[in-house]
Chain A
């Protein structure tokens, strides 16, 4: 009887893990990135060995701008070529965010930093900041997109109670189409 209960318990755990994974994939494909990040975070312990789960959780957090949550997936993803590529991708974005925040808050000089770039908006702004900020410490930076003249990126710090927030806005044709808040 005890053995039966234990096996039932284990099977239910496996089923729950599979349900969580399916639900995560469904939410990701539906564009509910905050829900992906939240669900992934809550079920991470039981799915940490499943690299597909971890990757989607990290992508969801990335899209929802919870960049700091990429730290753990970066360390976990290492057993296949795809997961190592994704790990490098997340690590690059996390590092760029930290450096940019440091530079804006404390005036740290990152003009000689050379990192890979990614298609994520923070990477683009990071590259533009390194290229164009010209050793001036400002409250607000506006950069032109190198490929599309109608797109501009606004970078600034916003004061908050605990710590200042770094805000990136994408402006297309004079209208703010995206806003990303990091801290």
Chain B
């Protein structure tokens, strides 16, 4: 019978003997690295102290040479100034900044069914969620909403420019005011300049306050000025639902969805159909 324990011990000792040279090599490399590291650090600290002492010695010599140089330079500068002034007058000042633009020419070649881009829209100040930035763009079709009968017509391609008026430069004072007086200010400004952002803001405020008649009126006014503001159509439809005109709201949303493919409008229509939004 073989003594297994003895054989195992022998095997272990043989294995260790085989590994010995590698272990020794590794340990020696490690020690060499430590020594080199310490040597390198010491050398660096020595060179820094040497530079300091040599620099201190050189400073008085440099000062003397500088004094003599400055006298010579002053004489030269007097002659140079005249020529420099002449050059400065001829050279234009380079204050114009380089402006970079993205290059998206390949996008025009892509033939995908597209819709008009989202226009600018006033947003609420939320602290938790990021909100998308929107652009004003040209619509493919203009939808005109008749306030009496809600008949929707498709008209020729037309761009609706925003009416801007130059107002005097007024500083913004960030003060808390009553909701009503603030709203009156905005209404006055809207009447002056017909800015759809203002009318949308007013519509949203009235909707929040529960005044759905006025919310409907201002949403309609917004759509008449610029019919590509998604939020305006949403508030318009919601106001109609709240005024018990559910069918008109659904009809409007369907027409809007057919040309805009708006996800938000689609979601609202579904909610109205299943009774989630009342």
Please list the residues of chain A having a beta carbon within 8 angstroms of any beta carbon in chain B: 22, 25-26, 28-34, 52, 55-56, 59, 63-65, 81-83, 85-86, 88-89, 92, 114, 116-119, 121, 127, 140, 142, 144, 148-150, 152, 158, 169, 171-181
Contacts and interface: CB of A to CB of B under 8 A. Distances in A.
B100 interface: yes
Contact of A82 (B98, B106, B114, B263): B106
Contacts of A158: 127
B103 to A, nearest CB: 4
B101 interface: yes
B198 A175 contact: yes
Interface residues of B, number: 46
A172 B121 CA distance: 11
Given A174-B186, A175-B186, A176-B125, A59 B106 contact: no
Nearest to B105: A82
B44 interface: no
A39 to B, nearest CB: 14
Nearest to B171: A142
A29 B122 contact: no
A68 B127 CA distance: 20
B98 A117 contact: yes
30 contacts: A26-B114, A28-B107, A29-B115, A30-B261, A31-B117, A31-B132, A55-B102, A55-B106, A59-B104, A64-B130, A64-B132, A82-B103, A83-B103, A85-B102, A86-B102, A88-B100, A89-B102, A116-B100, A117-B98, A117-B99, A119-B101, A140-B174, A149-B166, A173-B193, A173-B198, A175-B122, A176-B122, A177-B122, A177-B197, A178-B134
A168 to B, nearest CB: 10
A81 B123 CA distance: 37
Contacts of B121: 177
Given A31-B134, A173-B198, A181-B130, A116 B99 contact: yes
B127 A179 contact: no
Given A33-B132, A175-B186, A180-B133, A85 B100 contact: yes
Nearest first, the 5 closest Cβ-Cβ pairs linking A and B are: A31-B118, A82-B103, A116-B98, A29-B114, A89-B100
B175 to A, nearest CB: 12
A14 B110 CA distance: 18
Contacts of A180: 133
Interface in B105-152: 105-107, 110, 112-115, 117-118, 120-123, 125, 127, 130-135
Contacts of A32: 263
A178 B136 CA distance: 12
A176 B123 contact: yes
Contacts of B245: none
Nearest to A148: B164
A171 B170 CA distance: 13
A29 B193 CA distance: 31
Given A117-B99, A149-B167, A177-B197, A65 B123 contact: no
Given A176-B122, A177-B121, 15 more contacts: A26-B114, A29-B107, A29-B117, A30-B115, A31-B117, A34-B130, A64-B132, A116-B98, A121-B133, A127-B97, A150-B164, A158-B127, A169-B125, A175-B186, A177-B197
Given A65-B133, A173-B193, A179 B102 contact: no
Given A29-B115, A121-B133, A158-B127, A173 B104 contact: no
B206 interface: no
B131 A179 contact: yes
Nearest to B106: A52
Contacts of B263: 32
Interface in B201-238: 201
Nearest to B134: A31
Contacts of B114: 26, 29-30
B100 A150 contact: no
Interface string B155-184: 000000000101101001010000000000
Nearest to B109: A52
Nearest to B230: A31
B99 A144 contact: no
A117 B117 CA distance: 24
Contacts of A26: 112-114
